[in-house]
Structure 1
Amino acid sequence: MSNILITPEALAALIAEGAPVRVLDVRWRLDRPDGRPDYLAGHIPGAVYVSLDDELAAHGEPADGRHPLPDAATLQAAVRRWGIDDGDTVVVYDDLKSLSAARAWWVLTDAGLADVRILDGALRAWTAAGLPLDEGDVVPVAGSATLSAGRLAQVSIDEAAELAASGALLDVRVPERYRGDVEPIDPRAGHIPGSINAPTTGNVDEDGRFLGPEALRARFTAAGVDAASPVAVSCGSGVTASHAFVALRLAGFAPTLYPGSWSQWANHPDRPVATGPNPG
């Protein structure tokens, strides 16, 4: 197991032995962004609910995208509210193939927390292992973690445009949004010219667990990723791009994240748009 992922059994063992571990429930999806009702109905024992929209993202102008990265002070206050101290192991999970948990992993790892893990297989893997759930809310004792952002690589809108021409910019949305057939939320349909479609849902198996490093590497290589050239990831608003970032790291690549992603690009009318199945 990598130092990014953790199995349900390994997490259960950490909890049972009283290790300094904080579990975060990051349930979120585009059609149901508030995961708290599901959290209250059943969560991993001791898990604290985290709102992706309110605590793992900022709220700016449309030209900033739908989920800009949170500022350092706001994030540090949230991390302490979740009960996290320096040196804690932090495990993040959701109920949808780790798509939103990966956003928490990216934000917290970038902020300097030293040991952040994703529960591989998400909540489904925990319950499939016969492990228990608790109901209701968890209000932890405030923590004292100190954050310092900037540990992971990211690109701006201008750098993303350049990288689409000089390296590989992966657009990890579903094919119909990449092609521009549909666009349910952003003001324009299509993709960044030069970007390559590589849906991140293909990075996990039917049980929601990440594919092995060799399988992931083969998948990205087939998509056009070259270890000798830079690679960045984008999606609708920077959430599922974090999932692809994790997959690329597991495969041995050194990716960068375009946090603004399509929601930022589409809100800049001066930026060109490509449609159809090809990069353009």
Structure 2
Amino acid sequence: MSPLITAEELAALDDVTVLDVRWRLGGPAGIESYREGHVPGAVFCDLDADLAAPPGPAGRHPLPEAGAFQSAMRRLGVSGSRPVVVYDDADSTSAARAWWTLRYYGHRDVRVLDGGLRAWAQAGLPLTKQQEPVAPGDFTAVPGGMPVLDADQAAELADSGILLDARAPERYRGEVEPVDPVAGHIPGAVSAPTGQNVEPGGRFHLREYLRERFNTLGVVDGVPVGAYCGSGVTAAHEVLALEVAGLPAALYVGSWSNWVTDPGRPVATG
């Protein structure tokens, strides 16, 4: 099953949990956009509070503990037997983090609304400001559903396989660093900006296009691959694009914000 779903396919579903995962680095809070209009029946999912642990040495968006994530998802109405669709309004970047985290904790039927809220509106489908009561879900979080990397494993993969850096090219090169205290990239990592995963309207490129894109970066069948970014959000988008292409990949959740907490770890620029 594709990890993506169209607006028309979502509109035709009856029994589904829809999560609105709008988020911006540095704000404004996504809940405000949600209140102004969202997919009918959608529940707001807070990336910082529901999809990550508090920031610290593990990074700016560490993986939440199983118990905390399970409680958050149950509060949002997520059940293991009911499909989940996630969306945002920014090329599916934050929605991909929700998709990945649910998959990591064992939910088997999670899809991303391809094109997000823009695609929904372009299909002529309605938005609502109404917030309906949410019946608690019964989702049980069991870790291990998706492969992960720690810092040492990421460094090893950059040498023995392919480690993709999902950030903007200028951050990869170390020319700018707007968030973290050190600029640059993990030595051996390959620049693969997530912006190239989608068309101008925000929909993902076709499987064949994505497969060719990643093939040119060295990602081919049989070669281990992983992805990282600043804090494990846009890298989840990279993993999603790789899955669309039929190329499974591991996620370094701590990403650059974890890597630079140890001054002994090497940093490359250029």
The 8 Å contact of residues 183 and 189 in structure 1, kept in 2 or not, is answered as yes
Question: Following the alignment from structure 1 to structure 2, what is the Cα–Cα distance between the partners of residues 239 and 137?
Answer: 27
SS of the residue 2:12 aligns to: helix
Question: Following the alignment from structure 2 to structure 1, what is the Cα–Cα distance between the partners of residues 251 and 156?
Answer: 14
Q: Indicate which of 97, 105, 111 corresponds to 1:103.
A: 97
SS of the residue 1:269 aligns to: coil
The 8 Å contact of residues 180 and 257 in structure 2, kept in 1 or not, is answered as yes
2:200 aligned residue: 206
State the Cα distance separating 1:226 from its structure 2 match. Answer: 2.6
Question: Following the alignment from structure 1 to structure 2, what is the Cα–Cα distance between the partners of residues 110 and 260?
Answer: 15
2:141 aligned residue: 147
Q: Tell me, yes or no, if structure 1 residue 35 matches structure 2 residue 30.
A: yes
Any gaps of 5 or more consecutive residues in structure 2? none
Q: Tell me, yes or no, if structure 1 residue 44 matches structure 2 residue 39.
A: yes
2:250 aligned residue: 256
Q: Indicate which of 171, 178, 184 corresponds to 2:165.
A: 171
State the Cα distance separating 1:112 from its structure 2 match. Answer: 1.1
Any gaps of 5 or more consecutive residues in structure 1? none
Which amino acid in structure 1 is aligned with residue 32 of structure 2? Answer: P
- How many residue pairs match? The answer is 270
Question: Following the alignment from structure 1 to structure 2, what is the Cα–Cα distance between the partners of residues 247 and 191?
Answer: 21
2:15 aligned residue: 20
Question: Following the alignment from structure 1 to structure 2, what is the Cα–Cα distance between the partners of residues 104 and 45?
Answer: 19
TM-score (norm 1): 0.94
Deviations 1:162-205 (A, max 9, x none): 00011100001001111111101101000000000010110111
2:229 aligned residue: 235
State the Cα distance separating 1:85 from its structure 2 match. Answer: 2.0
The 8 Å contact of residues 2 and 244 in structure 2, kept in 1 or not, is answered as no
Question: Following the alignment from structure 1 to structure 2, what is the Cα–Cα distance between the partners of residues 52 and 29?
Answer: 10
Q: Tell me, yes or no, if structure 1 residue 266 matches structure 2 residue 260.
A: yes
2:108 aligned residue: 114
State the Cα distance separating 1:123 from its structure 2 match. Answer: 0.4
State the Cα distance separating 1:207 from its structure 2 match. Answer: 1.1
State the Cα distance separating 1:136 from its structure 2 match. Answer: 4.2
Matches within 5 A, 1:42-191: 42-61=37-56, 63-191=57-185
Question: Following the alignment from structure 1 to structure 2, what is the Cα–Cα distance between the partners of residues 203 and 84?
Answer: 28
SS of the residue 1:95 aligns to: coil
TM-score (norm 2): 0.97
The 8 Å contact of residues 41 and 136 in structure 1, kept in 2 or not, is answered as no
Question: Following the alignment from structure 2 to structure 1, what is the Cα–Cα distance between the partners of residues 166 and 108?
Answer: 27
Structure 1 residue runs of 4 or more that deviate by more than 4 Å after TM superposition: none
Of 30-39 and 195-204, more deviation after overlay is shown by 30-39
Which amino acid in structure 2 is aligned with residue 7 of structure 1? Answer: T
Question: Following the alignment from structure 1 to structure 2, what is the Cα–Cα distance between the partners of residues 45 and 235?
Answer: 32
- The sequence identity of aligned pairs, in percent, is 55
